[in-house]
Amino acid sequence: MSWKKEKRNRFIFFKSIGFNLAFGYSIVLLISVFLVSVYFYAKLSRNLHRETEVFLQGEADILSHFIADHAADLDAIVNELNQRTLLTQAAYKMHYALYDREGKILAMSKDFPVDTFPLEKFGQNERYSNDIGEENTDFSIPTYLAGGTRLIAKAIYENQKIVYFIQIGIDLGQMERVLSNYWRNGLFVLPLVFVIAMVGGLLLARRSLAPLVKIAASAKDINVSNLNKRLPLRNTGDELDELAGAFNDVFSRLQKSYQKIVQFTADASHELRLPITSIRGEAEVILERERSIEEYREVLASIIEEFERMSKMVNSLLILSRADSGQEGLGFQGIELDKLIKQVYEFFRVVAESKGIDLRIKGSAVCITGDKVNLERLFSNLIDNAIKYTFSGGQVEIKIESSASFAIVFIKDTGIGIPQDELTKIFDRFYKVDKSRARALGSIGLGLSICQSIVEAHHGEIKVESRIGSGSTFTVLLPREKSA
């Protein structure tokens, strides 16, 4: 088993970010060095060939002038040719061939490739040009490459007539050896460059990724029992600090969500335990001895009431659960918000009148895009709460306004109000400001949570202002319908 684990660890190393970064950088560097080497090789080759041609042209000019000046002294010409060959051999291995007017070889250096490059290669018109050239006119033929030798041929004039032809050649073997050595050394260096780049890349990658390893190790230590723990920041402002900061934000949200889940579970258990305990207690009491039919009816009515409260709570929890998980299917459509609220108003107007509460509505027409069922639930909950917590003789006002971007709905009551330190908590699930009054009114503490989830699903905002004894004002902002 150990060799399998070792093999797996070795395979993981080759898949690691550090190895892939180092390998990628090494390949890029290797290609770059290779391309630079090819560029300098081409540059070097071009420069060497250009220098060779310049040297060859210069030698041809020098020797052609000397031959023209000593046209009658063949021995002096041959001696000068041999001297020039010896003088230049340190830099170039030079060859020459001297021809008379008819193309007969008069003198030739050793190893001159006359068979590869005979004078007859030039046409008669090139060789003689009808002898109409002026005295000392350059009759120059471009250099040719033949048999590893670069050659040039020139005609020598005397009294405007060709008397000699000279061919001068330079052996390119030395230059080719220089280029070959350059290329061979370059190919030898490339693997060395790759190895050095790979080793250096691995060291740099390991050093650069060391903070990431620490982040991973710290993240592994965070679990449900210590969600308050955070990843350390180096305060460098680099990408790894941004990554650690992003993880810390995620952990903060997870901690808050987990705390909400724990609190929600505890609250739900508590809220469900009360009616269950009540039902069981009433059932046990009624079964202790024989009761009258009227007593049985009262107990059963009380049990049904508790069941209705539990059913309402379960349905509310189901709505919130679907909203939290994103499974609440919202059918968005164009809605005339003022008409929708007026329908809800008409339903609660009778309830308000029965309690002696003045329920009013006013406002302008405004259209939004939303889910009709959920919007009805939203405003039904808010208006119902306003009526529940307003005493007889009080007033509840619904006002509809609009701005450039939002439809704004105010629901204002003259009820008991909410303490200032409680305003930030009223949207929490199962939270009730006055628990005894809330239970008497049948509140389970989920209505405002549902309202908030509906508003958020519509990308809106819900706010509240309240004073004890003066009433409360809930403000709902919903995005207006975008015009086409």
Distance (Å, whole) CA 369 – CA 483: 11
Select 239-321's CATH number: 3.40.50.150, 1.20.1630.10, 2.60.40.10, 1.10.287.130: 1.10.287.130
Distance (Å, whole) CA 463 – CA 478: 12
- Among residues 4, 186, 158, the alpha carbon closest in space to that of 71 is found at 158
Burial 211-227 (b: 16+ CB within 10 A, else e): beeebeeeeeebeeeeb
Where in the chain do CATH 3.30.565.10 domains reside? 330-479
pLDDT per position as a tens digit, 341-371:
999 888 888 889 989 999 999 888 888 888 8
pLDDT per position as a tens digit, 229-274:
777 777 777 777 787 888 888 888 887 777 777 766 666 665 667 6
Task: Tell me which H or E stretch contains 82.
Answer: helix 74-87
The crossing angle, in degrees rounded to 10, of helices 239-286 and 293-325 is 170
pLDDT of residue 131: 44
- Name which of 61-65, 105-109, 415-419, 439-443 the model is least confident about: 439-443
Where in the chain do CATH 1.10.287.130 domains reside? 239-321
Beta bridge partners of 395: 358
pLDDT of residue 434: 54
Q: Which one has a higher pLDDT value, 413 or 137?
A: 413
- Name which of 100-104, 116-120, 149-153 the model is least confident about: 116-120
Pairing of strands 395-402, 105-108: unpaired
Asked if the model's pLDDT at residue 135 lies above 50, the reply is no
Helix intervals (H) in 221-362: 239-286, 293-325, 337-354
pLDDT of residue 149: 75
Give me the residue label for tokens 């070959």: 180
Contacts of 357 (CB under 8 A, 6+ apart): 387, 390, 392, 393, 394, 395, 396
Distance (Å, whole) CA 452 – CA 461: 8
**Is 3.30.565.10 the CATH classification of the domain at 330-479?**
yes
Task: Tell me which H or E stretch contains 65.
Answer: helix 17-69
Q: Which one has a higher pLDDT value, 446 or 437?
A: 446
How many other C-beta atoms lie within 10 A of the C-beta of residue 183? 15
Length of the chain: 484
Asked if the model's pLDDT at residue 77 lies above 50, the reply is yes
Distance (Å, whole) CA 136 – CA 65: 8
Asked if the model's pLDDT at residue 438 lies above 60, the reply is no
Where in the chain do CATH 3.30.450.20 domains reside? 1-220
Q: Predicted confidence band at 124 (pLDDT cuts at 50, 70, 90)? A: very low
Angle at 339 between CA 338 and CA 341, to 5 degrees: 65
Distance (Å, whole) CA 216 – CA 17: 14
Q: Which one has a higher pLDDT value, 103 or 124?
A: 103
pLDDT of residue 13: 60
Q: Predicted confidence band at 130 (pLDDT cuts at 50, 70, 90)? A: very low
pLDDT per position as a tens digit, 174-230:
788 888 888 888 788 888 888 888 888 778 877 777 777 787 777 777 777 777 777
Contacts of 446 (CB under 8 A, 6+ apart): 313, 316, 317, 320, 429, 430
- In one-letter notation, the amino acid at residue 288 is E
In CATH terms, the fold of domain 1-220 is: Beta-Lactamase (3.30.450)
Q: How far is CA 234 from the centre of its chain?
A: 23
pLDDT per position as a tens digit, 275-306:
777 777 777 777 777 778 887 788 788 778 77
DSSP three-state, residue 70: coil
This prediction's pTM = 0.48
- In one-letter notation, the amino acid at residue 437 is R
Q: What percent of the chain has pLDDT over 70?
A: 78
DSSP three-state, residue 428: coil
